[in-house]
């Protein structure tokens, strides 16, 4: 069914929505980039949410089937959050909606972060900076940066600007940051181009 070896799609202008877009129909069949544990690891690496070394360590240490189980949890999280976004996109979020986000707050409670002073480059000169790091103790910890991306979306994005692509078979969501909020397509190369071709065909038909 799936080829999650092809690069995932990052067209939403918000990682939280890109996570929802990790299942899509880019051409004519559904692709789920996180349909198993390996798919989840690949998607997290492409999204730059987890350092490669941490992914390799967890891959090496995981028990058989353990990463697949976490991928299953990620898909459940994805579909739960999709229903929240679908219900509220196009309208401002209000404090009264907070109770609906209880599952996300429960995930965020499991966070294990700490601060570290690390070397950094600035204008070619070495300096020290304070970074927030995360402990990757178990495969379940892979869900934490996803939870953070979803929380960032809720708290920093104007939900009136969250839109669904107008492509007839397209399921992709995005944040419209264009001037005049005129974006209609997940990408001009995919659905925008299809719409142009369809309009062209319709014009030709009308002339015959």
Minimum mean pLDDT range among 103-112, 138-147, 196-205 = 196-205
In this structure, is residue 176 part of a structural domain? yes
CATH of the domain at 39: 1.10.3300
Number of domains into which the chain is organized = 1
Distance separating alpha carbons of residues 108 and 86, to the nearest angstrom: 22
Q: Could you tell me the sign of the dihedral formed by the alpha carbons of 132, 133, 135, 140, in that order?
A: positive
- What is this structure's pTM? 0.87
Query: Do 173 and 162 contact (CB within 8 A), yes or no?
Result: yes
What is residue 126's predicted lDDT score, i.e. its pLDDT? 86
In this structure, is residue 6 part of a structural domain? no
Residue, of 25 and 115, whose pLDDT is higher:
115
In this structure, is residue 7 part of a structural domain? no
Model confidence pLDDT, tens digit, residues 16-25: 999 999 999 8
> Quick one: tokens of 200?
């062209």
**Is the pLDDT at 201 greater than 80, yes or no?**
no
Range of the domain at 187: 15-207
């Amino acid at each position: 069914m799936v080829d999650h070896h092809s690069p995932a799609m990052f067209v939403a202008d918000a990682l939280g929505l890109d996570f929802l877009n990790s299942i899509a129909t880019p051409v004519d069949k559904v692709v789920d980039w996180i349909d198993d544990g390996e798919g989840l690891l690949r998607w997290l690496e492409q999204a730059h949410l987890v350092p490669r070394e941490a992914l390799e360590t967890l891959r090496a240490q995981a028990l058989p089937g353990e990463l697949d189980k976490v991928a299953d949890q990620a898909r459940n999280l994805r579909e739960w959050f999709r229903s929240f976004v679908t219900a509220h996109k196009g309208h401002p979020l209000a404090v009264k909606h907070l109770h609906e986000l209880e599952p996300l707050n429960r995930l965020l409670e499991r966070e294990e972060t700490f601060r570290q002073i690390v070397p950094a480059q600035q204008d070619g000169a070495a300096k020290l900076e304070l970074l927030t790091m995360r402990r990757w103790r178990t495969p379940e910890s892979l869900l934490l940066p996803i939870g953070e991306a979803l929380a960032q979306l809720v708290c920093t994005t104007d939900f009136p600007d969250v839109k669904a692509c107008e492509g007839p078979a397209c399921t992709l969501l995005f944040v419209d940051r264009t001037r005049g909020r005129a974006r209609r397509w997940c990408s001009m190369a995919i659905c925008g181009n299809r719409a142009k071709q369809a309009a062209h065909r319709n014009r030709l038909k009308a002339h015959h």
